[in-house]
Amino acid sequence: RMTLEPGRYQIRIGARESVGSRVGTVFYDLQVPDFRKDPLMLSGLLITATSAQAAMTAMPDPEPPKLLPGPAISRRTFARNDTLTVFAEIYDNGSSKQSRQIDAVFTLLSERGQEVFRAAETVDNPTASHWTAFGLTRAIPLNNVAPGRYLIKVEATARGTPPVGRETLITVQ
C-alpha cells in the first residue's frame, strides 16, 4: 500500500529469483486522481470472489478485508459458481449546505449489452459537508450467468451533478 498525492507517477518493480537467478521488471504508469476536484467522483473498483479464499495471499493489504469479504484480486476470469463482491467509494464534494441523495447502480452487462444483473441503492448525505466519502459494496452471484465476457459497471448520480462511473471487463467460464 502506498499513499500518494494526486498526480502522475511511474511505479518500477524488479524481482530476482533466488534459486534460478532469473530477473524481471515491471514498469507501470499511474495517474492518482484528485477525488476532491469534481462535485461527485467515484473511486476505482475493488473486486473479490468466493474463490479468492482458496488462493494464498503472501502479503495481504490490511484495508480491503474491512471492505470486502475476501482479499482484493486482479484476476478477471471466474467460474459460474462464484460470487463476486465489488467495492467502490463515492466522493461527494458538493458545496451546497443542504442534504442530498446519491443514487448508485451496479450492473453486469453481456457483450450484446443485455443487462444480466442490476442492483440500485440510494445513499443519503445528511451532513452536507464539503467532502464526504461513502463506501458501496455489492455481491454479484454468477450462478445464473452464461459463460462469456461481461462488463461490470458502477454509476453514481446526484441531483445537479453529472453522473460518474467506473467499469471493468470480466469473463465467466
From CA 24, how far away is CA 126, in angstroms rounded?
A: 50
Q: pLDDT category, 93, cuts 50, 70, 90? A: confident
> Quick one: cell of 153?
459497471
pTM of the model: 0.81
From CA 91, how far away is CA 35, in angstroms rounded?
A: 7
Q: Which of 15-29, 55-69, 87-101, 143-157 has the highest mean pLDDT?
A: 143-157
Question: Is the pLDDT reported for residue 123 higher than 60?
Answer: yes
User: How far is residue 99 from each of residues 94, 106, 123, 124, measured CA to CA in Å?
Assistant: 10, 23, 11, 7
Question: Is the pLDDT reported for residue 77 higher than 90?
Answer: yes
Backbone φ and ψ of 131, nearest 5°: -140, 115
Q: pLDDT category, 67, cuts 50, 70, 90? A: confident
Cα angle for residues 150, 11, 33 (degrees, 5° grid): 60
Higher-scoring residue by pLDDT: 13, 62: 13
Computed over every residue of the chain, the mean pLDDT equals: 86
Segment 139-163 mean pLDDT: 92
Q: pLDDT category, 65, cuts 50, 70, 90? A: low
Segment 132-142 mean pLDDT: 89
Query: Which pLDDT score, from 0 to 100, does residue 131 have?
Result: 61
Query: Which pLDDT score, from 0 to 100, does residue 70 have?
Result: 79
Q: What percent of the chain has pLDDT over 70?
A: 86
